[in-house]
Amino acid sequence: MNHILYLPTRFFPSISGAEFYFQRMAEILITKYNYNIDIFTSNAIDFKALRNSSGRIINHNDKYFDHVNNLNINRFPVNYNTSAKDILNKLQTIPAYNKLNLNDVSLELFIKNGPYLGDLLEFLLNKPDMNYELIHSTFFPYFNCILSLIIGAFINKPKVCTPFFHFSNPRYSDSRLIEVLKKFDLLIACTNLEKDFLIKKCTIPPEKIKVIPMGVDHTKFEKVHKTSSKQYSFKQKFFDKKEKKYKLILFCGYKNYEKGALSILKSIPYILKKINKVYFVFIGPSTIAFNQELSKISKLENTRIINFTPDNLTGYFDKKKLAAFKEADIYLMPSRSDAFGISFLEAWSAGKPVIGARIGATPEVIREDIDGLLVEFDNPEDIAKKVINLLKNKRLRKIYGLAGHLKVSQKFTWDIVAKETHNTYQNLIKNHN
């Protein structure tokens, strides 16, 4: 039995691809490969709570605080009131930290991003049974990367990071941040494009990068795709009675500029000029910028927008979410901040065509004119043009959806990802010993 330490930034009920990735890897590796995995994380729920006490946190009495499915979760409070200077002084007393030879400025940037988990660091450094064979953290550039490097150096075990590197966003390419990535024994990139960027732009040796894509619970969405109309219906529940045949355009993700949610809102007036019988459904955490833009767009004539947050859902497989994927005509996420984009896999599993942005890793994930379309990032007119063309072509939507469905079933299930991750762990452990 391999004993592994997971150090994610947050965990469910926080919802994002990084959190879900660690959850599914832990669940499958424990049940299928007989791993023993300890999960230590922060009590933050939203991104704000990673560095600001006014953000949302999970409390001890929450049913998910220390247990999610078959996983035991250990959550520690974020230390908001500790200065960067005090943190640096504290870390410099730890021999394992000094072994890393990190630049003080680099450390300060990670401290600024949060979450600083001083209590967790203290706990792990004094934990009597530190018999881990490997430490794995996600995602970049947050302080849990530093934490995992310290613990890895402390027990002299391999350190792995799945950074979900957003290489199309300039702020992720700061050389002071990249310095920390170079300290890991292995980086798991989601695409070859990400790997190439890490090699060429970040000067990370290719032998320290392994490409393992993301996955999906294919059968859950496939089952939804194949169910009869007698099952739970999103349109029946949320559309007006006379509008059941209206088109449905779906977005699922963090509703910010990076994910393209604001660009979708701005594209709506252009779309409605050509096709006005359409609903736009947004699922995911909202932002102030999104809510402000939503308020403006919602006032336009014939605008139909349905907006869900995690507070309206019961989890990753909420019936409203599954039904929305099942009944969507197009899945639209023109993001520049995805290292992969799990929701594309969910849409394909449900047999739907997708539209993403021609930037970052997305052009490797979406095969243009085969299983979806690409648009220019943050270009509402280009988004509208592609949406209109696809809405007018039912045959093309079906072709793209079926092509994506086949691709996912053969290459991108979580079982496939977990098997590759297991093999990668074993090689690291063997070579380190």
Instruction: Measure the CA–CA gap between 328 and 344, rounded to whole angstroms.
Output: 13
Q: Which tokens in the block code for residue 388?
A: 């209109």
Query: What's the pLDDT score for residue 352?
Result: 96
Per-residue pLDDT tens over the stretch 302-332? 999 999 998 888 888 999 999 999 999 999 9
Residue stretches of the chain with pLDDT short of 50:
none
Instruction: Measure the CA–CA gap between 134 and 152, rounded to whole angstroms.
Output: 8
Single out the residue of 294, 298, 297, 346 nearest to residue 321, CA to CA.
Answer: 346
3-215+414-432 and 218-411, same CATH topology: yes
Chain position carrying tokens 């999906």: 216
Q: Report the predicted TM-score, pTM, of the whole model to 2 decimal places.
A: 0.94
Type of residue numbered 342: I
For domain 218-411, which CATH number applies: 3.30.200.20, 3.40.50.970, 3.40.50.2000, 3.10.129.10?
Answer: 3.40.50.2000
Nearest 5°: phi and psi at 429?
Answer: -60, -45
CATH superfamily, with its number, for domain 3-215+414-432: Glycogen Phosphorylase B; (3.40.50.2000)
How many C-beta neighbours within 10 Å does residue 51 have?
A: 18
Per-residue pLDDT tens over the stretch 357-375? 999 999 999 999 999 999 9
Instruction: Measure the CA–CA gap between 394 and 403, rounded to whole angstroms.
Output: 14
Instruction: Measure the CA–CA gap between 53 and 43, rounded to whole angstroms.
Output: 11
Query: What's the pLDDT score for residue 228?
Result: 52
> What is the percent of the chain with per-residue pLDDT over 70, rounded to a whole number?
98
Query: What's the pLDDT score for residue 194?
Result: 96
Single out the residue of 69, 73, 71, 9 nearest to residue 35, CA to CA.
Answer: 71
Query: Which DSSP category does 275 fall into?
Result: -
- Domain borders along the chain are 3-215+414-432, 218-411
